[in-house]
Amino acid sequence: MLVVVSWVSFWLDKDAVPARVSLGVTTLLTMTTQASGINSKLPPVSYIKAVDVWIGVCLAFIFGALLEYAVVNYYGRKEFLKNQEKSKKLTRMEDCACPGDRPALRLDLSSYRKKTWSPRLPAWFSIIGKTKELSRKVDLISRITFPSLFTAFLIFYYFFYVVEYIPDEKNGSK
């Protein structure tokens, strides 16, 4: 459940820094506390237990969600600074004596050319392609990849650790 809660940050605005950071850190600390509580109740052994694999992967996914926001924040700041520079250039252009009420003249003929057929992409890919902000694309891609990878892990874990190690009823062991 903590892993799924950590994915809520993908749906929050990239500028909601306190909300996203506190959600990521809280889920990471909660999972760490859970892991230490579980490990303290189990006897120490020299091999890796199934619960160790489970906890390790869950910690990796929660840390990955926090790391994803670090990437989103980094690119979001770069995009913000780039937009600031563009707005400074635009204010200098407004100082010219050119009339501003006329629409801009297009020098290329791309809008007049006949449109060619292109294959339709799934809705998620078209949404990702429409946005120009890399930070937004990272969030959109994470909304798909994190749950997909975790589902793949759940399937692997279930078949490898649960089904594979169920004792055989006839012999009493595998």
- Residue whose tokens read 């994190």: 146
Say yes or no to pLDDT of 145 above 90: yes
For residue 9, what are the contacts with CB-CB under 8 A and spacing of at least 6? 19, 20, 23, 24, 65, 66, 68, 69
Query: What are the extents of the domains in the chain?
Result: 2-39+53-94+127-163
pLDDT in tens, 73-114: 999 999 889 888 877 765 555 555 555 555 555 555 555 555
Return the DSSP state at 163: I
CATH topology of domain 2-39+53-94+127-163: Methane Monooxygenase Hydroxylase; Chain G, domain 1 (1.20.58)
As a whole number of angstroms, the distance between CA 133 and CA 75 comes to 8
As a whole number of angstroms, the distance between CA 40 and CA 87 comes to 57
Q: What is the mean pLDDT of the chain?
A: 80
- Residue whose tokens read 């969600």: 65
pTM above 0.85, yes or no: no
Average pLDDT over residues 118-133: 61
Give the tokens for residue 25: 């850190």
Dihedral angle sign, alpha carbons of residues 166, 169, 173, 174 = negative
Say yes or no to pLDDT of 136 above 70: yes
Output the pLDDT for position 58: 95
